[in-house]
Amino acid sequence: MIEMQDVYKTYPNGVIALNGISVRIKQGEFVYVVGPSGAGKSTFIKMMYREEKPTSGKIMINGVNLANIKNSKVPLLRRNIGIVFQDFKLLPKLTVYENVAFALEVIEESPKNIRKRVMEVLDLVRLKHKARFYPDELSGGEQQRVSIARSIVNNPAIVIADEPTGNLDPDTSWEIMDIFERINDRGTTIVMATHNREIVNTIRRRVIAIERGKIVRDEVKGEYGYEA
Amino acid sequence: MRLNTLRRHFRESFKSLGRNGWMTFASISAVTVTLLLVGVFLVIMLNIQHITKQIERDVEIRVHVDLSATDADKDALRAKLEAFAGVEKVTYSSKDEELQKLIDSFGEDGQSFRLFEQDNPLSDVFIVKAENPLDTEKIAKQIETLPSVSKVKYGKGQIEKLFAATTTIRNVGLALIVGLLFTAMFLISNTIKITIFARRREIEIMRLVGATNGFIRWPFFLEGLWLGVLGSIVPIAIVLSAYSYTFDLLYPRLKDTFFQLLPFYPFAWQVATVLVLLGACIGMWGSLMSVRRFLKV
C-alpha cells in the first residue's frame, strides 16, 4: 500500500513541483496519473521509488516512510518495486534474456531461480521465442515488453510506469496495456503516468489528475479529462 | 557475498576491459608511463640512500683522552661514554695502536714514524659511533664537556655538509615520487571516468532494479586493479633490465670506492613488488573515485 501525506517538493532551483499531495493507493489497485506536462506527474512518480526525496511530508510504502530512509536502504526498497520507462532503458549489448536476468543477478538470486523466473516472465509478456534477440532487433512494443518483464521478474508488489506507451503506436500501446492488466490481475499494484487519452477513457480505472503540484481530481473509473 | 556474485564481478571486470579496448589501452599506458618514471626514481633513490648510509656509517667521533688521565679515569670516561643516549658503540684504541695505524696508513713512508715508538706523542682514543649518524654533532658537543677529554674530533663542517646534501636528495626524490603518483592517479581516474561515463546507463539501471552501491562498485574496483597491475608489467621489465645492465657496467669500476650499488637480488624483487602494488593502488583508487560520481552515497 502506498500512502502520501502532505507531500511538498521544491527543487533546488526554486521550482515547486509538488504542493501538498495526500493520497492513498491500496494494494492491487490500478491507477492512472494524468495531467499536463510540467504539472508534477514525474516528480510524483519519482517520489514513489525514492529517486527524489520530499521536501516535507510523509510517503509510506508497505509501512516504510521513504522520506527518512537512508540512501543505503534504497536498493532494498527498489527490489519490491518494478519500474517501467517511456524509453525502455534496456542494455543494448545484452540479449532479451540477459536484460531480464540482470535484475535478478544484481540482487544475487541463485542461477537456478534466475532461469526459471526469467522464462516465466518472458512467457507472460509473450517473448519467450525472442529470448536470444538483442534489443535493437526488436520493435518498440517488444522492447517495452522486455522492460516490463524485467520490472516484474522479482515479483514486486508495485509496478510504477512513467508514460510506458509514450513512444509507441496505438496498436502496440494496447498490447502493452493488455500486459499491465494481466499483471494487475495477479494482485500487483500499478501506478501509471500517461498522456494517452484513449487508453484512460477505454480501460476505465482510478484516475488521479495533478495540476500545478496538486491533486485536482481523484475518481474511481474516471476519464482522461483533457483535450488531446 | 555469494561465490556466484564474486564470479560475476570478475567476469564483468574482464569483459569490460575487452569491451572498452581503447580506453583500457589508454589507462594502461597512463599507468605504464608514470610507473616507469616512478620506477627509475625509486631505483636511483634507493641507491643514493644505500650509498649515503655507507658514508654515514663511516662517520665517527674520536675522543682524545687527556695525557694525565689514569687508568681509573679512562674506565670512568668509557662508562660515561657508553651511558650516553644515542651512542651505539665505544671502542678503545691505545696510543700505541694509534701510532701503528698511522704507520700503516702511510705505507712505505710510514716507516719514518717508527722513531716515535720510543716516545709516543699521540693520545689514547675512544672511538664513539652514534646510533643515528645525524646525532654525531650533538653527541660530540656533549662529550667535549666531560673530564679527562683533551680533544674531540668528528670531521666538523664536512659531515654537516654531507648530511645536508643527503637529506636534500632524499626529500627531493620523495617529493618527485609522490608528485608522480598523484599525476598517475588523476590520469587513471580520468580515463576510467570516461569508460564509466559510457556505462552510466548500466549503472542507472542497476540502481533502478535494486543493486546495492557495493555491488555496483565491485566490477569497477576490479577493473581498476587489473589496469594498474597490467600497467606495471612494462615498467618493471624496463627498469629491472636497465638496472641489471647499469649494475654490470658500473660494478667493476666502483668496486673499491664508497659508492656501492645495491646488488640485483633481492633488490629486483623489492622494486617489482613496490611497482605492482603502486599500480594496483592507483588503479583501484582511480576507479573508485570516478564511480563515486555516479552513485548517490
Rounded to the nearest integer, the mean pLDDT of chain B is 83
For residue B155, pLDDT over 80 is answered with no
Q: How far is A63 from chain B (nearest CA, A)?
A: 19
What residue of A is the nearest CA neighbor of B211?
A106
**Cell numbers found for residue A73:** 536502504
Is the separation of the CB atoms in B39 and B275 below 8 Å?
yes
Nearest residue, CB atoms, B210 vs list A107, A110, A111: A107
pLDDT of amino acid B187 = 75
B3 in A contact zone (CB under 8 Å): no
CA distance B121 to B96: 10
The CATH number fitting domain B60-154, selected from 3.30.2010.30, 1.10.3720.10, 3.30.70.3040, 3.40.50.300: 3.30.70.3040
pLDDT of amino acid B44 = 84
Residue A93 carries which DSSP code?
T
Return the residue in A106, A110, A113 with the most chain B beta carbons within 10 A, the one to mutate for interface testing. Answer: A106
SS3 A226: coil
User: For residue A179, which amino acid is it?
Assistant: I
CA distance A94 to B12: 12
Domain extents for chain B?
3-55+161-292, 60-154
Is the separation of the CB atoms in B56 and B133 below 8 Å?
yes
For residue B112, pLDDT over 80 is answered with no
A37 in B contact zone (CB under 8 Å): no
Of B174 and B156, the structure prediction assigns the larger pLDDT to: B174
Low-confidence ranges of chain A (pLDDT < 50): none
Residue B260 carries which DSSP code?
P
> How sure is the predictor about B157, in pLDDT bands with cuts at 50, 70 and 90?
confident
pLDDT of amino acid B1 = 67
For B125, phi and psi rounded to 5 degrees? -135, 135
pLDDT tens digit sequence for B7-54: 888 988 888 888 778 888 888 888 898 889 888 888 888 888 788 777
Residue A40: Cβ within 10 Å count? 24
pLDDT of amino acid A228 = 52
Q: In this prediction, what percent of chain B has a pLDDT beyond 70?
A: 98
pLDDT of amino acid B258 = 66
pLDDT tens digit sequence for A57-106: 999 998 889 988 988 889 989 999 999 999 999 998 889 999 999 999 88
A102 in B contact zone (CB under 8 Å): yes
Residue in the block written with cell 675522543: B63
Residue A71 carries which DSSP code?
G
pLDDT of amino acid A1 = 85
Of A73, A77, A71, A130, which is closest to residue A100 (Cα–Cα)? A130
Average pLDDT over residues B142-156: 81
Q: Is the dihedral of CA A73, A75, A80, A86 positive or negative?
A: positive
B62 in A contact zone (CB under 8 Å): no
Query: What length is written for chain A?
Result: 228
A121 in B contact zone (CB under 8 Å): no
pLDDT of amino acid B83 = 82
Task: Give the ipTM of the model, two decimals please.
Answer: 0.86
What element of type H or E holds B153?
Answer: strand B149-153
> Cis omega before residue B266 (within 30°)?
yes
B206 in A contact zone (CB under 8 Å): yes
Q: Which residues of A fall within a CB distance of 8 Å from B202? A: 91
Residue A84 carries which DSSP code?
E
Domain extents for chain A?
89-155
Q: Which residues of A fall within a CB distance of 8 Å from B6? A: none
Is the separation of the CB atoms in B123 and B67 below 8 Å?
yes
What are the DSSP E strand ranges found in chain A? 2-10, 16-25, 30-34, 56-61, 64-65, 81-85, 158-162, 189-193, 206-211, 214-219
Q: How far is CA B18 from CA A13, A115, B14, in A?
A: 41, 26, 7
CA distance B143 to B128: 10
For residue B296, pLDDT over 70 is answered with no
B201 in A contact zone (CB under 8 Å): yes
Residue in the block written with cell 654525531: B136
Residue B98: Cβ within 10 Å count? 17
Is the separation of the CB atoms in B32 and B235 below 8 Å?
yes
CA distance B112 to B168: 44
What DSSP assignment string belongs to B54-121? HHHHT--EEEEEPTT--HHHHHHHHHHHHHSTTEEEEEEE-HHHHHHHHHHHTGGGGGGGGGGGSS--
Return the residue in A79, A105, A152, A160 with the most chain B beta carbons within 10 A, the one to mutate for interface testing. Answer: A105
> How sure is the predictor about B73, in pLDDT bands with cuts at 50, 70 and 90?
confident
Q: In this prediction, what percent of chain B has a pLDDT beyond 90?
A: 8
Q: How far is CA A189 from the centre of its chain?
A: 10
Is the separation of the CB atoms in A66 and A50 below 8 Å?
yes
Q: How far is CA A95 from the centre of its chain?
A: 22
pLDDT of amino acid B219 = 87
Which residues pair with residue B288 across a beta bridge? none
